[in-house]
Structures are given as C-alpha cells and as structure tokens.
Structure 1
Amino acid sequence: MPASQWRAGDWVQVRSREEILATLDEQGRLDGMPFMPEMLAFCGQTLRVFKRAHKTCDTIAYSGIRKLERTVQLEVRCDGSAHGGCEAACSLFWNEAWLRPAAAPGAPEPLSRATPAAPRARGCSIEQLMAATQQGQDPEKGPRYACQATEILNASQPMSNYDMGQYVEDYRSGNVGLGTLLRGTVYRVSMYVLRRADRWGRRIGLGDALARAVMAGYDLLQRLLPHGIPFPRRQGLVPSGQQTPQQGLGGIGPGSCVRVKPYREILATLDGSNKTRGLYFDAEHVPYCDKEFRVRSLVNQIVDERTGYMLRFKSPSIILESAVCQGAYSDNRMFCPRSIYPYWRPIWLTPVERLRGKDGSAAEL
C-alpha cells in the first residue's frame, strides 16, 4: 500500500485552519509531526504536490533513511517566521488529513476521493500552536525551538536500506525519474566496488591505485552518458595544516546570477575533510557544478535540528534556486525526497550577467 494517495504533480487544497487544528494534539502534532504556524498561510490554497514523502533522511542521529506515512511535500517552503527567523527554507511535510483533492487551476474538479479530516486528537488552539514552537530557553543560547526538522525522529520509523519497495515507490510516485534512478544505481555499485578495491589495493601494497582506477573508469563512463556527473566523492586538495581560501560575497546577493565553478576548481578550495572555512562540500553539490543559477537567498542563521537552538554563521552562506539535494549520491539515504538546500561559499561561484533558463538553471539535470 503506498504511503500516500498522491503523486508528484497532483493538485491538492490545504484545508481550513479550523479543520487542521481539530486534527492536532495539544502540542500541535499529528502522528508526531508538528503542524507549524508558518503553514497557516497556505490554508485554503490550491497547491501542487512536489514529492510523495514516503521516507526522509535523519539529520539528527544520522541513523539512515526513515519511513513516513500518509505524507507529501508541496511546492512551498518554510519561511522560519515562527522560529526566530530561521533561514534554512525547509520543504514542509503535509499529512493527508490536512489536504483534500483539487483540480489544477482552470481544470474541472476531480472526482471525490476519501480524505477524511475527522479529529484524531483533542484539538489545538492557535495559542497552543504558537507555544509549541519553543521548548524552553537557555540564558546564553536563547530559545530552544521545535519544528518538523527537530521532531523528525518522533514522526517517522526506521527503514532498511535493503527495502527494495522504497525504490519502486520512488519511481511510481513520480519522485524520481528513470535517469536519476539509474545514475544513483550506477553510483552505489561503483562505491561498493571502490571500497573493496581500496581495501585490497592497500592490502597488496598498491596503496590507493586500484581505487583511483575505479574512479577513472567511473569518470570515463559518465563522459559517455548525457548529463554525466564525475565521481562525486573526491578529496579536497588543500594540504593539511594550510588554511582554505576565503572570499567575500562581492556583489552576490538574492537575485544575482552565478555559475558554479567546475568540480576540479572547487576541490582546490577544499581541505582533506572537503570543507572550505568550515562549510562541507557534499557529493550532492557536484551535479550542479559548471551550471548557472540564480541566488535564492543568503543564510545567516538556521535552527540546529539536533539541539533546537539557533545556529548563527560567521559569514553568510548562499542558497541557489532549484539546486537541492537529490539523494542520488548519498550513503544510507538514497533518493530521499526531502530536497534540502545545500549551502554554497562565494568562492565556489562565479557571478554572471544573466541566466538562460526560466527556473534559474541553464541546463536540465
């Protein structure tokens, strides 16, 4: 049975605040998932399903992939207004009980499908909903916030990476296209071979020569494929003990047009832990290298989902429009639909005058 009746691209209407509040407990939650005050602004709106949220990654304990039930993500994001101005712009989780089927704008209304919104708890007031955004305060750290990201473990269950049904649902739900599915599969098989090649190479005295040969073979294959991505888990080139280079924002800001530098150039700015000034460059960044985007926003502070306290950056990071984590090059969270925005350092980007694509990207991935 699918985790949701809706697929990516379906249209739904968000129920009224009264209907939604009636489904919540006194902590503003349904099945452990908070309905946050930021979501009230979308009540009554007709929105499109971005992805079926049948699973999610664990960014708290890093335990792997987690299972969700009757949940989707819509084409809207949290603005952080009820959580101290958090700027992470997380994709929001929507329980089916908070939604009803709807037609696309201008299309005939769909046949009714059963989407009961009957109360499943005592109900929650607006005052209780607002109060539930905080769980105490520290004299030095400030408020301790609670949101969907901090409570994800309470709203989900463990899922095995070897549960093949999740990957079938990734495709059937419309979350993942066949091309992304195949690229991710090739990557996972290559990682399996690489780790064993590295182990055997060191055992027989060849060092990392076998592993480097596997990476070279991967790169060769990717050059032959449309939209091929080079091996995305290479190590940064800044020598140990040497500081990584620093670069200010310059003229980069919301609405600016930038081009992500080639992967090799970015590797030259990363240390052995693949960080530039403390910010990690992940394998999920690599598909966006050498492509053009528009800057969505600058990030100065986010709620730390592990502690609930506000985490303030020493220097702003950058979010690029449409550049999200695909979960295609990640261990233990393959094809996670959460679509978290990766953060970018200015030194990884080059300003450009304009973009060719309407959605902020010059090329399809």
Structure 2
Amino acid sequence: MLNFRVGDLVEVRSEAEILATLDERGELDGLPFMPEMLAYCGRRLTVHKVAHKLCDTQARTGLRKMERAVHLTGARCDGSAHGGCQTACSLYWKEAWIRRVAGEPAPPVQEPRLLPLLEVNTRKPTGDGGAERFACQATELLRAAPTCLPLKNVTQYVTDVRSGNVGPLRTLQSLAIGLFNRLQHLARRVLPRRLWLRGGLPWGFLKGRVTGPTPAQTLDLRPGELVRVKPKEEILKTLNADLLNRGMGFEQEMARYCGRTARVQARVERCIDEKTGAMLHMKNPCIVLEEVVCEGVHSLNCPREFVPFWREIWLERAV
C-alpha cells in the first residue's frame, strides 16, 4: 500500500524522532541518514518521486527494490560532510523520517545528539596509501536495496503510475525500450553478428567513432552561461567504442538532451566513487547543467534522477 504520492506535502521529523529510528551505524534498513540531511529537519517539502526502485550503478545488476522511501523536491546532497563531493545526489528519505503535514509546523529544536553519530559514519576504513574513503547513501545503496527487480515484475509499473512518478504512456515507452534492449542482448548471445539488428546496440543506437585517444576541448564555461548540447552525431565523434571520452561516459539518457539549451549550473572537480568510496579528482572539470537530470526512460523509469556530467567538448555556447 502506498503511503505517499508525488506532490504530497510532508514535514521532516526532528532529530530526536529520526535518531530513534537509526541503528549504531546511523542507518535504517541499511540506508544512512547523512549529516547533510540535518538541515531539513522540521522543514516542509513536497514528495518529488516515490523511491520504490533504483538502478544499480555499481554492479550493473539492473533495477533494485527499495522499501518505503521517497525523494523530496529540492533536497539534494551538497557534499559538505563528504569532502565536498559535487555529485549532487537526490537524497533518499525513509518514510519513518517524514510525516504528513497536519496543522502548524513543529517548533525547531536544537538537539546536538545526532550529528556526532552521523559524522563518524561518513568515513570508511582508509584505502591504499591511507587514502580517505567515504560512506554515503550512494555507496551503500546495494545494502539498502538488496533485492533485484526483474523486468517481468509488473507491480513496479503499477506503482510507477499510482504513485504519480510517471504516467501510463511514459511507462509503456520505458517498458518497450526495456524489452527491446533485452531482445538485443539475447540476440548478441545466440545469433551470428550478421543477424544482429542495428549492430545489436541498445535503444538509442549510440556507437563511438574514435579508435585511438579521444579528443578534448576547453571552453572554460562558467555558471550562468547558456549552452547548447551538440547533436548526437558530433558527440559520437568524440567517443570510443565504450562510449567514453577520456574516461567519462556518455549515455542514452544524455543523448535525449542533444540540441537542447540549458544554463551551466557548476563546474565539477571532485566526486565520490560509489564502488570504493574514494574521492575522485578530475584533471579536467566537467559541467553540470541546470534542470538537466537522468529521467530514467532507458532504465524502466528509475526515479534517482542523476545529474549527468558533461565534457565541454559535448557542449557549445548558445549565441
């Protein structure tokens, strides 16, 4: 039974109430409550997406099932307790950490008991050479969502629509893409290459053109500048066979923005590696664009809404 729907007005519970739900690791059902989330205690926000599933970006096992969690509008991690990570993940809120709005807002209460517990658990044991490693919701998602969610699970599509995450047409579109990609994968396994449709590529049919080192371009873009995402064919000329440009991936969801204009939100220089927890420092900063997120069309409407990183060579100033 759905407890929350998209658009519901909720209030984040107090520190004391949230503390009562957490174990000694500062987690509920394997999901950490992070220091960056404390600033939202007592605030009223709307449900942006019901986070009943997520795409596995660590082990690439497909979709995973998440229990009783939502994303709230405008609530993204600022990385302040995690070495300044700039990934800007959409925060997960367990239903136990929020409540439906009723009456006046609860008066703010200063309760310093929770922060020390949360800060201790933002770190993992150091890596090779004593390198600092971090723990956050993104690094722990496979523990928080241990169950795989197969394509044939019809309940997920019903929940997508009933929760208000997406409409019926978008659900059918995403399911059709998922089925097509499954057939393409099967064809690559059992059929000779000459019988593969469009080279056996998944929907979107992205194929990098570069066989040697991938090219670079520096535009020195700054926040507030208006840019246009280059046409898909131009971007493919900058990618290798793995759809990488100097190690940075370009995906089908990003191709949906080709030809569109947006403003630069930030230059990204560091982000946490979800698999290891290590902080990655970029030799060449990437760009994030305002209101440009992964919409999940190619991943069965996963509601995580990643903020894509863009190489400057994939963008041009809009004149």
TM over 0.5: yes
Name the residue aligned to 2:258.
289
Contact 1:31 / 1:155 at 8 angstroms: preserved in 2?
yes
Contact 1:257 / 1:292 at 8 angstroms: preserved in 2?
yes
Name the residue aligned to 1:176.
166
CA distance 1:32–1:189, change in 2 (3 Å): closer
Counterpart mapping for 1:28-107 below 5 A = 28-75=26-73, 76-102=75-101
1:212 aligns with 2:177: no
1:257 aligns with 2:226: yes
> How far has the Cα of 1:259 moved from its partner?
0.8
1:233 aligns with 2:222: no
Unpaired stretches in structure 2, ≥5 consecutive residues = 105-112
1:275 aligns with one of 244, 248, 256: 244
Mapped to 1, the partners of 2:188 and 2:127 lie a distance apart of 47
Contact 1:198 / 1:211 at 8 angstroms: preserved in 2?
no
Unpaired stretches in structure 1, ≥5 consecutive residues = 104-108, 111-123, 219-230, 354-365
Q: Bigger radius of gyration, 1 or 2?
A: 1
Name the residue aligned to 1:327.
296
For residue 97 of structure 1, give the secondary structure of its aligned residue in structure 2. helix
Mapped to 2, the partners of 1:266 and 1:135 lie a distance apart of 37
Kindly provide the CA deviation profile for residues 20-61 of structure 1, in whole angstroms up to 9, marking residues without a partner as x: 122212211112111000001111111111100111122222
CA distance 1:247–1:26, change in 2 (3 Å): same
> How far has the Cα of 1:139 moved from its partner?
6.5
Kindly provide the CA deviation profile for residues 303-343 of structure 1, in whole angstroms up to 9, marking residues without a partner as x: 1111111111121111112221222214xxx2111111111
Q: TM-score, normalised by structure 2?
A: 0.89
1:148 aligns with 2:137: yes
Kindly provide the CA deviation profile for residues 345-364 of structure 1, in whole angstroms up to 9, marking residues without a partner as x: 111111125xxxxxxxxxxx
Name the residue aligned to 2:110.
none
1:190 aligns with 2:189: no
Mapped to 1, the partners of 2:213 and 2:126 lie a distance apart of 36
Name the residue aligned to 1:337.
303
Structure 2 counterpart of 1:37, one-letter code: P
For residue 20 of structure 1, give the secondary structure of its aligned residue in structure 2. helix
For residue 141 of structure 2, give the secondary structure of its aligned residue in structure 1. coil
Mapped to 1, the partners of 2:309 and 2:228 lie a distance apart of 14
Name the residue aligned to 1:126.
115
1:245 aligns with one of 201, 215, 228: 215
Structure 2 counterpart of 1:164, one-letter code: V
1:304 aligns with 2:273: yes
For residue 264 of structure 1, give the secondary structure of its aligned residue in structure 2. helix
Counterpart mapping for 1:12-23 below 5 A = 12-23=10-21
Kindly provide the CA deviation profile for residues 208-230 of structure 1, in whole angstroms up to 9, marking residues without a partner as x: 6x523998xx9xxxxxxxxxxxx
Mapped to 2, the partners of 1:139 and 1:201 lie a distance apart of 44
CA distance 1:194–1:26, change in 2 (3 Å): closer
CA distance 1:33–1:213, change in 2 (3 Å): closer
For residue 140 of structure 1, give the secondary structure of its aligned residue in structure 2. helix
Mapped to 1, the partners of 2:294 and 2:217 lie a distance apart of 24
Name the residue aligned to 2:125.
136
> How far has the Cα of 1:195 moved from its partner?
4.9
CA distance 1:154–1:194, change in 2 (3 Å): closer
- CA-based RMSD: 2.5
Structure 1 counterpart of 2:181, one-letter code: M
Structure 2 counterpart of 1:349, one-letter code: L
Aligned-residue sequence identity (percent) comes to 46
> How far has the Cα of 1:146 moved from its partner?
0.9
Kindly provide the CA deviation profile for residues 80-136 of structure 1, in whole angstroms up to 9, marking residues without a partner as x: 000111110000000111111127xxxxx59xxxxxxxxxxxxx6321221111123
Q: TM-score, normalised by structure 1?
A: 0.78
Kindly provide the CA deviation profile for residues 186-241 of structure 1, in whole angstroms up to 9, marking residues without a partner as x: 323433454566678736xxx36x523998xx9xxxxxxxxxxxx51321112x2x
1:316 aligns with 2:285: yes
